[in-house]
Structures are given as C-alpha cells and as structure tokens.
Chains A and B, each alone.
Chain A
C-alpha cells in the first residue's frame, strides 16, 4: 500500500490536515518565503524583476507597507538608482538614499547585517534620522555579493509592532544574499544579451552591405562590358590599320562613341547607386505587430535593464495584423529606443505602447515610445527629424543627428508615418503608425 493509499483509507475524521491548513509557525513561514523567493529569482534576467521580487517578498515576510531598493550606478558612482519604491514618497526616498548610500556601500565584506536608523545616527546625523522617521523606515541593509556593494534596501516597520525579531533579521539577510546574486547575474545577462544583439545587428547589416556590393559589382561589370569591348575593338582597328588618315579618323570616332557610351553607363550606375542609397528598399509583408513588438521588447529589455532603464510594454496581447517590413521596423525601433536610452536618466522608465489610431480617415496600427528625458524646448518637435540636429539635452558627440531622420524615412518607405510630441522636462513620445494588413500602400 502506498502512502497515498494509506491516507485515502483513513476514516474522514482522522485524515491528516493539508499542510497549508495547519497553523504555520513563524519559522516555517520564513522558510517558505526564502524558498518562494529563490524559485522566483533562479531564472530572473531583469534587474527590475529581481528588485520587484525582493520587495514583495520582504514586505510580505514582515508585514510592512514600506520598502525601497536602490542599485549602484556604474556610470555615476555614489549616485544610486532607485529600482523599486513602495509606501515612501519618492523625493523623500531619494533624499534618504543620498544620506545613507555611501555609508552602507563602504561597509566591508561580512558586514552585511541590517541596521536601524538609530544605529546609524552617529554617521548620518540627526537630519537624516528625521528623514528616516518621516519615511517610517525601520532598517537599512546593504545588497552585496562577495563583499562588493550592489545596492541598498530600506524597509518599514511591521504593521503590528516597532521592532524586528532576530529570526526576521536573519531571513531578511538571507533574502538579500539571494537577491544580490540574482542582481549580479541579471546585470551580466543584460550586458551579454545587449552585446549579442548589437553584434547580430552588425552582422545582419554587413551581410546586407555585402549582398548589395556583389549586386552592384555585377551590374557595373555587365553595363561596362559592352561599350568597353567596342572601345577596345576600335582602338585595335586604329592601331592595326594602315596609317591612312580616313581609316584612323573612323576608328577614333568609334572609340569616342564607345567612351561616351561608357561615360553614360557610369553616370547611370552612379545615379542608380545614389538612388538606392537615398531610398531604402523595404520588403513589405503582413505580420502580427503585437507578436513582433512582444518579441522585440523581450530582446531589448535585458540590455536596457543593465543600463538601469526599465522598458515597459503597454497594450493588450491580442493579435494586430499590419503591413510592414520586420527588418526595417527593427531598425526603426532600435533607433527610437536607443534615442530614449541616451536621453533618459538612469532609473527612468521607457514605455513602449501599442494601440490603434484613426488618422486621415482610416485606422492605423500605432507604436509609441515615450521617454523620460528633457523633452524638446521648442514647440516644433518635427525638427527632431532634421539630420545633423541633435535632440535637446544631447551633445553632438552623442552621435545623434541622422538616426531619427533615417528612421522617419524608413517608416515612410513602409507606407507609415513617424511623428513626435515633446514636452520640456517631461519627455518625448515618438509614434510610428503603420497601415493595417490588407490595405494598399498609399
């Protein structure tokens, strides 16, 4: 008889109570919490997901409505980036982090125990202590791996009391170790994923250039062969004929004709080359835009997250058929998202939103990318698309200047539109509109 059969054979009143219904001791609850957090984090590949899982777990472990997590910013050491904040006003949380960050980051390896604001009083001073009390923060803890500081946690008071019991402090410390390892793994994963993505794009671009080069050389060779043959024939005839003036004149006239023809062909080839360069080729097809955008966001999120920007996808998962070239649309979104990355400060959120809009008497699929950058100071956001005119807040050294113009050209080549709205100190929103599937290209 198996254990399951044995349990089934028991009379109803003696059947063991399911585990979840037994009164759970605090120790068991803490153990469950660590197991739950570990399961969630083992494959977390995004810094923001790790931070979210950590604060949810800790808030539930101790029953507090206040929690915040910051992470070190490699580009600006000493200026931590807030990843998640619940129950604490953000400006207050930012002030608090500025006051406590350096102190917690400078603690050595093996010194990762949580500290109360009162324990930090001598180091942070009374103003910071008052901030902590105003924010109802009960303890701070470093988020470290192998003694290397990664981040900072602030946690509020439990709803039912004013202190933590030793078991809770142990569980918090263990949770932070787990999250610290996950944060390091997520950051590395993001950097690797972004490098791989850039490498793949470069590979694709080079392959396309190589194909175009081969095509171009083939066309040039074919176009030049005929007049060149005529030219050579005439010159050979000229050199082989008796030195009669009439014979030479005919041969030279033929050679000149050949040279003119050669020159014309070269001009044509050059015009062809210029035209191809000016107008990007697109391969339009009908695709599910929602599936395309979801896959694109999944690809880009780790890279943005490793640069401390969060990418949020907004819009229902239902299929949205549209007419576009996936390769070209990827180029466009790359340009817009890279622009948002350059223009938005660390800690910012970039929203990628899918919707349908009506314009010019018809329905379009729309994709918006909203950043949290400086926004454009003038009321003419269309100037953003002018080549060699970097966005407000970007230096010329940032490389911005032609990318947005090229993106607009690509969208228009797909029969769509690319427009921007901008509000100074709020941000810029780029909207790509694409024709519905089945609609003829205008």
Chain B
C-alpha cells in the first residue's frame, strides 16, 4: 500500500479568495498543520476554498479541524468551502450528516481554480 505524503499547496488565488489543495491523510498528526496553514489565510482576511480531492483518508481529528475552520471563518464573515472532496472524505461527511455544512451557497470566487 502506498501512502501519499501530506501536503498543502496554494493552487489558486483571486480577489479575496484563496484555494488550498490538500493531499494525503488528514488525521490527528496532520490536522494541526492544516489548522495552522488555514489560520494564516483567516488572519489575512481572505475567503478559503479547500480542495480535498486528493485526501486519501480523513479521521475524526481531520473532521474536527474542518469544524473549527468553518466556525472561525463564519464568525469573521469570511467564506469557507470544501470543493471538491474525495470519495473517502465525502463518505465520512455524509456519515456525520455534515455535507451541507461545508458546501452551502456559491463559492466565494468561482474563478478560483
């Protein structure tokens, strides 16, 4: 079994929105890195689109990190979206009935790709 190395890369930027692409396992070890990276975006006052299409596994800690980010961006009136998500991530979000929490409304900047 091969394991993709956990990475976070900036893959798009337009106006006040930024797209970060995450790859690998999003678990208790890597979730704090995602939080740290996204807090920098939050502190810069930007909207965030997280591309989780290359996330091979998401644990409860990864979901917890998404909950924190969603709440914090919402509190600061900044948009936070997951788009797109990989099948393993989608399965977990559906299991927890959280799909709607991260995909409501139009993306902050449709051109962010």
* Interface set of A (CB-CB < 8 Å, partner B): 20-21, 23-24, 26, 29, 32-33, 36-37, 39-40, 52-53, 55-65, 67, 86-87, 158-160
Q: Do A21 and B67 contact each other (CB < 8 Å), given the known contacts A40-B28, A63-B97?
A: no
Q: Are A65 and B28 in contact (CB under 8 A)?
A: no
Main secondary structure of the interface of A (DSSP, over half): helix
> Does B64 lie within 8 Å of A55, measured CB to CB?
yes
The answer to whether A159 and B101 touch across the interface, beta carbons within 8 angstroms, is: yes
Contact partner, A39, options B28, B60, B96, Cβ 8 Å? B28
Interface pair B97/A36, CB less than 8 Å apart: no
Which B residues are closer than 8 A to A by beta carbons? 27-29, 31-32, 56-57, 59-68, 70-71, 87-88, 91-92, 95-98, 101
- Is B97 touching A21 in the complex (CB atoms < 8 A)? no
Which residues on B sit within 8 Å (CB–CB) of A59?
A: 60, 63-64, 67-68
- Apart from A60-B66, A63-B97, A159-B96: 17 A-B pairs, beta carbons within 8 A: A20-B91, A26-B95, A29-B96, A33-B61, A36-B28, A36-B61, A37-B60, A37-B61, A40-B61, A52-B32, A56-B60, A57-B60, A59-B60, A60-B65, A61-B64, A159-B98, A160-B96
Q: In the A-B complex, list the 7 residue pairs whose CB atoms are closest, starting with the nearest.
A: A60-B63, A40-B28, A60-B60, A60-B64, A56-B64, A59-B64, A33-B60
**Least Cβ–Cβ distance between A330 and chain B, in angstroms:** 27
Please tell me if the beta carbons of A56 and B91 are within 8 angstroms of each other in the complex.
Answer: no
In the bound complex, do residue B98 and residue A56 qualify as a contact, i.e. CB atoms below 8 Å apart? no
- Report yes or no: B88 in contact with A60, Cβ–Cβ below 8 A: no
If A23-B91, A37-B28 touch, whether A60 touches B56 (CB-CB below 8 Å) is: no
B61 lies within 8 A of A53 (CB): yes
Closest to A62 in B: B96
A110 to B96, CA, bound (A): 30
Among B61, B68, B95, the most chain A Cβ lie within 10 Å of the Cβ of B61
For A24, the chain B residues whose CB sits under 8 A away are 91-92, 95
A200 to B64, CA, bound (A): 40
Check B59–A36 contact: CB distance below 8 A. Answer: yes
Q: Is the Cβ of B57 less than 8 Å from the Cβ of A20?
A: yes
SS class of chain B's interface: helix, strand, loop or mixed? helix
Query: What is the bound-complex CA distance between A40 and B59, given in angstroms?
Result: 12
Chain B residues whose CB sits within 8 angstroms of the CB of A20 once the complex forms: 56-57, 88, 91
Cβ distance A7 to chain B, nearest Cβ, rounded Å: 11
**Measured CA separation A159–B60 after assembly (Å):** 14
- Residues of A contacting B62 with CB < 8 Å? 60
B62 to chain A, nearest CB (A): 7
- A–B Cβ pairs within 8 angstroms, 14 of them: A20-B91, A21-B91, A24-B95, A29-B95, A39-B27, A57-B60, A59-B68, A60-B61, A60-B62, A60-B66, A64-B67, A65-B70, A158-B96, A159-B97
Q: A58 to B60, alpha carbons, bound, how many Å?
A: 7
A169 vs B92: C-alpha distance in the bound complex, in angstroms? 19
Q: How far is the CA of A27 from the CA of B95 in the complex (A)?
A: 11
Chain B positions within 8 Å of A86 at CB level: 67-68, 71
- Interchain CA distance A39-B32 in the complex, whole Å: 14
Q: Assess whether A29 is in contact with B28, with CB atoms less than 8 Å apart.
A: no
Residues of A within 8 A of B64 (CB): 55-61, 67
Q: Select from chain A the residue with minimum beta-carbon distance to B96.
A: A63
Q: Is the CB of A32 within 8 A of B59?
A: yes
CB pair A36–B27 under 8 Å, yes or no, is: yes
A63: chain B residues within 8 A (beta carbon): 63, 67, 96-98
Given A29-B92, A56-B68, A59-B68, A36 contacting B60 (CB threshold 8 A): yes
- Contact yes or no, B67 A65, CB < 8 A: yes
Q: Which residues of A contact B59 (CB under 8 A)?
A: 32-33, 36, 57, 60
Rounded to whole angstroms, the CA-CA distance of A64 and B68 in the bound complex is 9
Is A53 touching B28 in the complex (CB atoms < 8 A)?
Answer: yes
